[in-house]
Amino acid sequence: MLGRDKICAVVAAAKSQAMHRQLARALRETRTAELRLDWLADDQEITRFLKRLADTRLRAGATLIATCRRREAGGRYRGSIAKQLVHLSEAVRAGCAWYDLEIESASKCPPELLDVLLGEGRELRSAHFFQGMPRNLKRVVAELERGRPDAIKVAAQCDSLADSLKVARLSRTRRNVVAIPMGEVGLPVRFLMLRERGGVAYAPVENTTAPGQISLEEMKNLYRADHFDGRTGVYGVIGDPIGHSLSPQMQNAAFEARRINAVYLPFLVHDLGDFLGAVEELRIRGFSVTIPHKERILRHLDGCDPLAAKIGAVNTVVVRGGGKLYGYNTDYVSVLRALEPRIPLRGSRVLIVGAGGAARAVAFALAEAGATVCIFARRREKAKSLARAAGGEAVARNQLRREYFDAIVNATPVGMHPNVGRSPLEARELNCRLVFDTIYRPRATKLLQLAARRGIETISGDEMFIAQGAAQWEIWTGERAPVEAMRRAVVRALKREEKGR
Ligand code: NAP
């Protein structure tokens, strides 16, 4: 609606030169960009930037939106409204087709003044609610429309999908409305609005200018959001927290490798009811489930794979006709895929550390494959109960130094980033042929380092992670998963993270 593109790059920097550099980067990815003049250090820097903009050929064919949001409206500009208008008018003269004027400033300016100063540009009149949803969205829209701008923008911090959808519906029912549910919870809704005609999402080139924004690079290359249309299939992962999940990298790489028009998004879900209430409207076809919802989801399902029911945890859900939900557990098969090529499981004795959701999947998978499972957990009762259910035995910590196992599996988060210096077991307790750590961040956990130092074979959790993800993808699509593409995406992301630490 603002331009022809679905993605509007946000260019924001303190120095004119850096703004130009960002703009050049932005226009290689999309032809629509918002210029956050208010991020520039002072009035001189804004004028410097706009002078150079007027002279540059860079902007040819691009749709530029100038924003100089004042502090009272959540921006960074400290000058007066008069100065703000002067900058916006310089921006229009420098080639910006649009200017964004917040309602706080617009309501204090006579329309004639705006017409004289900014008449050549198109006005996007905006209202921002950084603290939460406004009580009455309709009234907000009516106020914004009062000045007869060319388009309006409503951005509101949303802490639920229900609120995010309320905001999103604004642009569905009216033309020339940019609706933005801000924040991490609203992120999938912002994406999914791009399936509709005229949908637009803001993406920063470098600096995040609003809560929960996704970078331009990720939006284009990870989510391929510029290709969304009405037929784009929607999948995702629900969890709390969710920002750290590598599933989007892995699953989107699979869709891209198989040229399937689908996207996989991270859903920050505090409240399962809120998410489940949005599944139909968002047209979600399937989702992964992670901490802390793997067990809770069971009571919301219409059907469940018997194995997942036995484990008592679901990590994969398929949405079938009529919005019916069916649950599976792919952690189960992934344990076998990681271990079976390394050791014969039938007749083996395996120690599992932990008694939570992952430990349950590991215990049932190994027992089913013919191994004897031994469980050690900090809460003896939990260890005993899992051992009983899986036909194994609970072991106490003081037994570990004396016992030998074919394999030891860590199914606790001990040693996971950021607590990388910790190990659930000491070196002298590692009396086995193989140690498998289900943690994949980092790949070389302290536990695996201790094992390697003793000459014990090690397996990192990334193998299990890729295998469980591939099994999910196959359940959703009915096709063979492109495992190598998924592995490459995960390894690339993990390496990048490890470098950044
Ligand atoms: P969970 O249900 O919360 O269970 C965690 C288990 O670890 C519980 O037994 C818990 O004991 C124990 N634990 C937690 N902190 C501990 C500590 N400081 N010392 C000793 N024991 C501790 O979580 P989950 O879903 O099973 O996940 C556990 C881990 O498995 C995750 O951190 C993840 O890295 C890994 N995982 C990996 C994959 C993969 O694909 N690679 C898949 C699933 C899970 P209490 O009950 O006493 O709290």
User: Is the per-residue pLDDT at 501 higher than 90?
Assistant: no
Find the range with the poorest average confidence among 42-56, 195-209, 280-294, 433-447. Answer: 195-209
pLDDT of residue 116: 93
Binned at pLDDT 50, 70 and 90, residue 2 comes out as: confident
The three-class DSSP label of residue 266 is strand
Residues above pLDDT 90, as percent of the chain: 92
Which residue, among 351, 359, 464, 336, has the nearest Cα to 407 in the 3D structure? 351
Helices within 195-318 (DSSP H only): 216-217, 247-257, 272-282, 306-311
Find the range with the poorest average confidence among 90-94, 262-266, 291-295. Answer: 291-295
CA of residue 199 relative to chain centroid, distance? 19
pLDDT of residue 57: 86
At position 237, the amino acid (one-letter code) is: V
pLDDT of residue 124: 97
Binned at pLDDT 50, 70 and 90, residue 242 comes out as: very high
Q: Where do we find the tokens 């590598």?
A: 246
Binned at pLDDT 50, 70 and 90, residue 208 comes out as: confident
Q: Is 294 a catalytic residue?
A: yes
33 lines ligand 1 (CB under 6 A): no
The DSSP symbol for 371 reads P
pLDDT of residue 412: 97
Ligand 1: residue whose CA is nearest its atom 2: 356
412 lines ligand 1 (CB under 6 A): yes
pLDDT of residue 172: 84
Q: Cβ neighbours of residue 470 under 8 Å, at least 6 residues apart?
A: 254, 481, 483, 486
The DSSP symbol for 205 reads S
Helices within 148-284 (DSSP H only): 161-173, 187-192, 216-217, 247-257, 272-282
pLDDT in tens, 165-185: 999 999 987 789 999 999 999
pLDDT of residue 87: 98
- Dihedral Cα 366, 367, 371, 374, nearest 10 deg: 90
Q: 285, 317 in Cβ contact below 8 A? A: no
pLDDT in tens, 96-120: 999 999 999 999 999 999 999 999 9
User: Is the per-residue pLDDT at 272 higher than 90?
Assistant: yes
pLDDT of residue 173: 79
Mean pLDDT of 466-495: 97
User: Is the per-residue pLDDT at 211 higher than 80?
Assistant: no
User: Is the per-residue pLDDT at 263 higher than 90?
Assistant: yes
- Whole-number Å distance, alpha carbon 353 to ligand 1 midpoint, is 9
468 lines ligand 1 (CB under 6 A): yes
Ligand 1: residue whose CA is nearest its atom 28: 412
**CA end-to-end distance (rounded Å), the chain:** 40
Q: Where do we find the tokens 């002072």?
A: 42
378 lines ligand 1 (CB under 6 A): yes
Ligand 1: residue whose CA is nearest its atom 46: 356
The three-class DSSP label of residue 319 is strand
Per-chain mean pLDDT for the chain: 95
Nearest-atom number in ligand 1 for the CA of 379 is 47
Q: 56-88: string of b/e by CB count within 10 Å (b at 16+)?
A: eebbeebbbbbbbbbeebbbbbebebeebbbbb
- Whole-number Å distance, alpha carbon 456 to ligand 1 midpoint, is 23
Binned at pLDDT 50, 70 and 90, residue 193 comes out as: very high
pLDDT of residue 60: 87
At position 481, the amino acid (one-letter code) is: A
Phi and psi torsions of 132, nearest 5°:
150, 180
pLDDT of residue 462: 95
Ligand 1: residue whose CA is nearest its atom 4: 356
User: Is the per-residue pLDDT at 445 higher than 80?
Assistant: yes
253/238 Cα distance (integer angstroms): 18
Fold of 7-230: TIM Barrel (3.20.20)
Which residues are paired to 8 by β-bridges?
A: 202
At position 370, the amino acid (one-letter code) is: G
Which residue, among 401, 328, 319, 335, has the nearest Cα to 367 in the 3D structure? 335
Query: What are the angstrom distances between the C-alpha of 224 and each of 233, 264, 382?
Result: 13, 10, 44
70/39 Cα distance (integer angstroms): 10
Locate the domains of the chain by residue range: 7-230, 235-329+486-500, 338-460
Mean pLDDT of 226-246: 95
- Dihedral Cα 237, 241, 243, 247, nearest 10 deg: -30
Which residue, among 277, 274, 249, has the nearest Cα to 263 in the 3D structure? 249
63 lines ligand 1 (CB under 6 A): no
Active-site pick, 153, 220, 294, 446: 294
What number does CATH give the domain 235-329+486-500?
3.40.50.10860
User: Is the per-residue pLDDT at 121 higher than 80?
Assistant: yes
Q: Cβ neighbours of residue 440 under 8 Å, at least 6 residues apart?
A: 246, 460, 461, 462, 464, 465, 490, 494
User: Is the per-residue pLDDT at 15 higher than 80?
Assistant: yes
Q: Do domains 7-230 and 338-460 have the same CATH topology?
A: no
Nearest-atom number in ligand 1 for the CA of 467 is 40
455/445 Cα distance (integer angstroms): 15
User: Is the per-residue pLDDT at 255 higher than 90?
Assistant: yes
The token pair that represents 133 in the structure block: 């949803």
291 lines ligand 1 (CB under 6 A): yes
The DSSP secondary structure of 6-70, one letter per residue, reads: SEEEEE--SSHHHHHHHHHHHHHH-SEEEEEGGGSSSHHHHHHHHHHHHH-STTTT-EEEEE--B
Ligand 1: residue whose CA is nearest its atom 40: 465
32/53 Cα distance (integer angstroms): 15
Which H or E run includes 5?
none
Ligand 1: residue whose CA is nearest its atom 17: 414
User: Is the per-residue pLDDT at 266 higher than 80?
Assistant: yes
User: Is the per-residue pLDDT at 3 higher than 80?
Assistant: no
Options 3.40.50.720, 2.70.70.10, 3.40.640.10, 3.40.50.300; CATH for 338-460 is: 3.40.50.720
With the most atoms of ligand 1 within 8 angstroms of its CB, the residue from 412, 446, 494 to mutate is 412
pLDDT of residue 244: 87
Phi and psi torsions of 77, nearest 5°:
-75, 130
- Whole-number Å distance, alpha carbon 372 to ligand 1 midpoint, is 21
Residues above pLDDT 70, as percent of the chain: 100
Query: What are the angstrom distances between the C-alpha of 154 and each of 43, 110, 308, 312, 318?
Result: 27, 22, 43, 43, 34
User: Is the per-residue pLDDT at 19 higher than 90?
Assistant: yes
pLDDT in tens, 352-400: 999 998 999 999 999 999 999 999 999 999 999 999 999 999 999 999 9
- Whole-number Å distance, alpha carbon 359 to ligand 1 midpoint, is 7
